[in-house]
Structure 1
Amino acid sequence: MNEFSDTIAVALKYDGLAAPQVTAKDSGQGGENIIELARQYGIPIHEDPALAQILSQIQLGESIPEDLFVIVAEILAFAYTISGQTPSINATITSKD
């Protein structure tokens, strides 16, 4: 087992109008690639293994379910604060065990 095998990354996009959508997801080395791209583009990264696992079950292009609105809203609010942006914003949620 290598150091990337447990990494899960899920990228979300929120335009301020509709629920956030899953725009990318992968695990292992692919997850690490998503994280690296997010870093390169200055996209905020939030590490939450449990949430990353749940979000990874959502199909690409699909909106997050209502039961995740509050937690994702808190993460996006944090992302807005540290990046000085308002919607539209991207965020990446990761699991690095």
Structure 2
Amino acid sequence: MKKNRPNIPEKKAASLQYDGSGAPIVSAAGSGEVAEQIIAIARQHEIPLFENEALLELLVNIGVGEEIPESLYLCIAQVIAFAYKIQGKFPEGWEPPTDPSQSDMLVTRLTAD
């Protein structure tokens, strides 16, 4: 039996699948135990986690198997660029800036087109 914890919001999670073409797809979404499983699988496979409550609410309402709407392209592109950066992944032929003052421009460069 599940205990009711009134002041603790139920955990939610969503995952995206992106193969580099087309729009990213919501590959999983849920709350409670489903959210815990999504997070556990992500950690198990060393998939970066990104926490943003407002974005999460939008993603869980899109529906599993559905493409993200065009209105979220820029936001999701920035999240994907950030995930690539922390994993050390970069587009083929791309060289990281040598000037440390330019490092904050990475997301803009990867998503500007």
Sort the TM-score into its range (normalised by shorter chain): 0.7 to 0.9
Query: What is the root-mean-square deviation in Å for CA atoms of aligned residues?
Result: 1.9
Aligned to 1:66: 70
Task: Give 1:29 deviation, angstroms.
Answer: 1.7
- Give the one of 1, 5, 24 matched to 2:28: 24
Percent identical pairs in the alignment equals 44
Aligned to 1:42: 46
Task: Give 1:53 deviation, angstroms.
Answer: 0.8
Aligned-partner residue type, residue 29 of structure 1? E
Secondary structure in 1 matching 2:10: coil
Distance 1:41 1:60 in 2: 20
- Give the one of 10, 16, 22 matched to 1:12: 16
Query: How many pairs are equivalent?
Result: 87
For residues 47-80 of structure 1, give each alpha carbon's deviation from its aligned partner in whole angstroms, at most 9, with x where no partner exists: 0111111100112111000000111110000001
Residue 53 (structure 1) aligned with residue 57 (structure 2): yes
The TM-score normalised by the length of structure 2 is 0.70
Q: 1:63 to 1:4 in 2, by over 3 A?
A: farther
Aligned-partner residue type, residue 23 of structure 1? S
More strand by share: 1
Q: Higher Cα Rg: structure 1 or 2?
A: 2
